[in-house]
A and B are shown apart, each in its own frame.
Chain A
Amino acid sequence: DIQMTQSPSSLSASVGDRVTITCRASQGISNSLAWYQQKPGKAPKLLLYVASRLESGVPSRFSGSGSGTDYTLTISSLQPEDFATYHCQQYYSTPYTFGQGTKLEIK
Chain B
Amino acid sequence: QVQLQESGPGLVKPSETLSLTCTVSGGSIGTYYWSWIRQPPGKGLEWIGYIYYSGSTNYNPSLKSRVTISVDTSKNQFSLRLSSVTAADTAVYYCTRERGGLGNSDYWGQGTLVTVSS
Contact = CB atoms under 8 A, between A and B. Distances in A.
Interface in A87-105: 87, 89, 91-92, 94-101
B14 interface: no
Contacts of B109: 43
Interface string A35-73: 000000011111001100001000000000000000000
Contacts of A44: 45, 94, 105, 108
Range, interface on chain B: 10 to 19
Task: Name which of B60, B103, B106 has the most chain A CB atoms within 10 A of its CB.
Answer: B103
Contacts, number: 57
B44 A100 contact: yes
Provide the main secondary structure of the chain A interface. Answer: loop
Given A32-B103, A49-B102, A96 B47 contact: yes
B62 interface: yes
Contact of B110 (A43, A49, A94, A101): A43
Interface of B: 44-47, 58, 60-62, 94, 99, 102-106, 108-111
Given A44-B108, A89-B104, 11 more contacts: A32-B103, A34-B103, A34-B105, A42-B111, A44-B105, A46-B105, A87-B45, A94-B58, A96-B47, A100-B44, A101-B44
